[in-house]
Structure 1
C-alpha cells in the first residue's frame, strides 16, 4: 500500500509540475494559483512557479525514498522529510482554504488534502 500511495502522490506532484509549466508559459490559468489575482502570471510569480517545479521534484524523491523505491538519502533524512512534507501539505490545506480565489480554494484545497493524507500514510508505514 505504501508503494501505491507513493506513486499516486508522485503522479499528483507531476500534474502540479505540468500546471506550473503552463503558468510559466503564460497560460491564463493563474486564478487557480498564487492567490488567483492574475490570470496570466507576472514575471515574479513565474519565477515562483519555476521554484515550485524544483521543489516538487525534491518532494518526489523524498516520497519515493521513504517508500523504499530509491536510495538517495540516508533513512533518517527520508523519515524526517516525509513528516515535513505531511506538515507542509497540511498547512497547504489551510492556506488554500482561505484563499481569496474561489477556483484556487476549490481545486488546490482537495489536492493538498489528498497529498497530506498520502504523505501521512507513507510516514506511518
Structure 2
C-alpha cells in the first residue's frame, strides 16, 4: 500500500472517530439523544442519559480521540513511528473492538444506533484492518 493511501485511510478513520466522539460529547453534556445510545435502555424521561452514563460517554469520547491519534500515527500523517509493531498490533485490537461494537450497535433499538453507528463502527473496523495490513 502506498504512503498516500495509508494516510488517506488514517484520515478517513480519524474523521469517523471525531464524528463518534462529538456524539459522545453531546451525550455527556446532556443532549437528549439517549434513545440512540446504550441500546436506548437507559434514557431518562427528558431524553438525556443518567449521570454515570454521561460520565461513561465522556470517557468514551476521550478514548475515541486517542484512538484517532494512534491511527494518524500509524498512517504516517503525524509523527514518524508509522511502522511500529505496537501501532500495527493496536490497529488489529481496534479492528476487533469496532467489530464487536458493530454487533452491539446492530442490536440497538434506535435506527440511528442500529444503522448510523452500526455502519460507522463497521467502517472503522475495516479501516483498522487495512491500516493493520498497512
Q: Which residue of 2 aligns with 1:51?
A: 59
For structure 1, the 5+ residue unaligned runs are none
Partners of 1:32 and 1:108 within 8 A in 2: no
Residue 87 (1) aligns with residue 96 (2): yes
- Structure 2 CA distance, aligned partners of 1:15 and 1:100? 20
Would you say how many aligned residue pairs link Structure 1 and Structure 2? 125
Q: Equivalent residue of 2:31, what SS? A: coil
Q: Which residue of 1 aligns with 2:6?
A: 2
Q: Which residue of 2 aligns with 1:124?
A: 133
TM-score (norm: length of structure 2): 0.84
Partners of 2:21 and 2:61 within 8 A in 1: yes
Partners of 1:31 and 1:103 within 8 A in 2: no
For structure 2, the 5+ residue unaligned runs are none
Q: What is the alpha-carbon root mean square deviation over aligned residues?
A: 1.7
Q: Which residue of 2 aligns with 1:109?
A: 118
Residue 60 (1) aligns with residue 74 (2): no
TM-score (norm: length of structure 1): 0.90
* Post-superposition offset of 1:100: 3.5
Deviates more, 1:67-76 or 1:42-51: 67-76
* Post-superposition offset of 1:72: 7.7
* Post-superposition offset of 1:69: 2.4
